[in-house]
Structure 1
Amino acid sequence: MANPGYGKRSAPDQRPRTGRDFVHLLPRDAAIAAYVDGLCDGADISVKSLAKVLPYGQCALRTTLNRLQEAGHLRRGSECIATETALIWVTRTFFSRTSRDNAWWAAFTRGDAPPQTPQHPTRSRSFILLAALGRNAPALMLSQADCLALEPQVSEWFERGATETEILHALTQGLPSPIHHAAALIRRRLRDKLPPLRATPPTPRVVLRTLECSECRAPGSAQAMPGGVCGTCRGNPHPTPTGPTNAVPQQGVRARMNAVRAGLLPRADRPHQ
């Protein structure tokens, strides 16, 4: 395992494992990818650590990791982690069993990638609330068929901004006695007490994450590093700087300001107006 906060991190929204996940890769790359895929999050997957357990040298492992990056299975970068006392940047190696293109990795870096799909179906929030009604009011105990039938109505309450506490209050307060048909009573209350739509502004999600070039380790955006390699390492020339005519180059700003300061008259020597 790597130090806390470092090491492998699985990318979200991956398909279930199959025996043909890495058949498009070279045999050695496929074997290493399958091994890395089987490791848990936080595992140390540096070339030195992998060389201790796999029958390949560090140079071969480094080449394979770079090819996995080119194939869309891996990206290296950093992520900002909040601790109890500070915000720190930690090294990440993001791994995806599913091959991803540059656009997907760019979205993932921004925090826009879709969440991971659960492997097993789970009950909705509405179903769970209905199934637990009998704990608060035993007379409102529902069958599974009743919960499934009433689930869309409760979901509509949630879509309008209602909380679980508000729904439970609407369904359980002031109950008649006796209750002959719990499902019919709940259906009537969900319909008659349906609240108006509440407009809630979306909460922006801030993700502090950056990728780095696999060759020179320079940080940058995902758009500037297709395949995980920056433009300089791909052999692209530096872009021509743009700006106003006769603008001072960035590297010459300090010298220009020193020359301007040297040409200024002292305050005592300036003419009075």
Structure 2
Amino acid sequence: MAKPGYGKRSAPDQAPPRADDFAHLPPREAYLAGFLDRLTDNAAMDAKTIAKAQPLYGQQAVRSALNELSRHGHLRRVRRRAEPGETGADNATRWVFHTYWSGAARSSEWWSQFLAGDVPTDGPVVGQVDRPADTRSDSAPERAPIDVQPQTAPDDVPPQTEPPNPPAHPHPTPTPAYTTLARLGLEDPRLTLSAADCAALQALAEEWFARGVTPAHLTQSLVAGLPDQVHSPRAFVQRRLRDKMPPERPAALAAPAPRGPRRLMECTDCGVPGRPEALPGGLCRGCREEASEGSAVSPPTRLAVAPDTVRVLAEQLRGAVRTSRGCLTPILA
């Protein structure tokens, strides 16, 4: 298992597993895909851990297989910005790394929409044939019949008794505006308000919040620069609420809708971050070109030179450097 908050994440909208889910893959990738599909969420998805957890393939083979699974649309590596308080991310910017896994092969467009927060419901599935509507296997256990208990007749229900001392009028939940006004006395005793004062000034405080002010900003505006003595806290707070009322925000400056945590896709092979459209198949351009040229690159040519000849040439070069004279051209020739 990975550290809390890291590791495997299952993509949404996945059908129940079947024996032919990975029939379109080569044998090595199909074996590792079946192994990864059975892992639970938060499981480690790095090549080193996967190589240790199964007996057939080493780290390099696992890395190559993960790249192929990424090209076929089964996985994407993602980093997202951690929320405050998550994995110790209080003030500093921290990133959490996930590997999203899908048993069904997804297209690059589907992954782009999913990482953008728009989860496709019927995105195209690549590399698989259509399945029949009934996906139940023949060996699926039948459901046990539900034992329905007979309902009790109305005459058999015991009468419910009233509580001995029912509450007369339960207190309503205080609003944020009421709570902010009530806490002014904790910030500065000169602005201690009664319950009636908070109820009377609540409408003005709510107008502040409607204009985009936070409770902390409102409190700071009311307690800043107080005189030595405040004879009437209610009148003083009411005057400040009216005189310091912020302007209404234009539509262009309205607070944007809350967004989910920022997520960036990573290259499955080298880990370089980028936008989904820049990483088709989950791989950057350099890794795609390296994979396509893999077998075409010939090994470097080595010159067959006897060891004695190498030692003689090395002594000649050292002598030329020490004397700072002579020409290296005849030596090399």
Normalised to the residue count of structure 2, the TM-score between the two structures is 0.42
In the alignment, residue 278 of structure 2 is paired with which amino acid? A
Give 2:69's aligned amino acid.
L
| Aligned position for 1:229 | 283
Verify: 1:90 aligned to 2:144, yes or no: no
Does 2:105 align with 1:99?
yes
What amino acid is aligned across from residue 222 of structure 1 in structure 2? P
**Residue type at the aligned position of 2:22:** F
C-alpha distance in 2 between matches for 1:63 and 1:101: 20
Give how far 1:230 is off. Answer: 1.8
- Give the Å deviation of 1:62: 0.8
Aligned to 1:213: 267
* Alignment-derived partner of residue 267 in structure 1: none
- Superposed displacement of residue 115, structure 1: 6.8
Q: How many residues align?
A: 152
Separation of aligned partners in 1, 2:263 and 2:64: 25
Q: For structure 2, which runs of at least 5 residues remain unmatched after alignment?
A: 123-134, 136-255, 291-333
Q: Where has structure 1 moved over 4 Å in runs of 4 or more?
A: none
Question: 1:64 is matched with which residue?
Answer: 65
Please list every run of 5 or more consecutive structure 1 residues that lacks an aligned counterpart in the other structure: 120-201, 237-273
One-letter amino acid matched to 1:62: R
Cα separation, 1, equivalents of 2:25 and 2:62? 14
Q: Match for residue 204 of structure 2?
A: none
| CA spacing shift, 1:63–1:232, aligned 2, 3 Å | closer
Query: Alpha-carbon deviation of 1:229?
Result: 1.5
The TM-score normalised by the length of structure 1 is 0.51
Distance 1:231 1:52 in 2: 29
Q: Residue type of the partner of 1:226?
A: P
Partner of 2:171: none
The question of whether the paired residues in 2 share the 8 Å contact of 1:111 and 1:207 is answered with no
- Render the CA deviation track for 1:105-139: whole Å, top value 9, x for unaligned: 101110111479xx9xxxxxxxxxxxxxxxxxxxx
1:102 partner letter: S
| Letter of the structure 2 residue corresponding to residue 8 of structure 1 | K
Q: Deviations over 1:175-234 (max 9, x none)?
A: xxxxxxxxxxxxxxxxxxxxxxxxxxx955434111112333211000011011123443
- Tell me how far 1:63 sits from its aligned partner: 0.8
1: CA distance, partners of 2:28 / 2:270: 24
Q: Which amino acid aligns with 1:112?
A: D
Residues 39 and 19 from structure 1, CA distance in 2 versus in 1: closer, same or farther, beyond 3 angstroms?
A: same
1:32 counterpart = 2:32:
yes
**Percent identity (aligned):** 46
1:75–1:93 contact (8 Å) kept in structure 2: yes
SS in 2 for 1:5: coil
Work out which of the two has the higher radius of gyration on C-alpha atoms and give 1 or 2.
2
Using the TM superposition, give the Cα deviation of residue 10 of structure 1 relative to its aligned residue in structure 2, in angstroms: 0.7
Q: Determine if contact 2:108/2:280 at 8 Å carries over to the other structure.
A: yes
Q: How big is the alpha-carbon RMSD for the aligned residues of Structure 1 and Structure 2?
A: 2.4
Deviations along 1:78-103, one digit per CA (max 9) or x if unpaired, are: 02231423563111111111100010
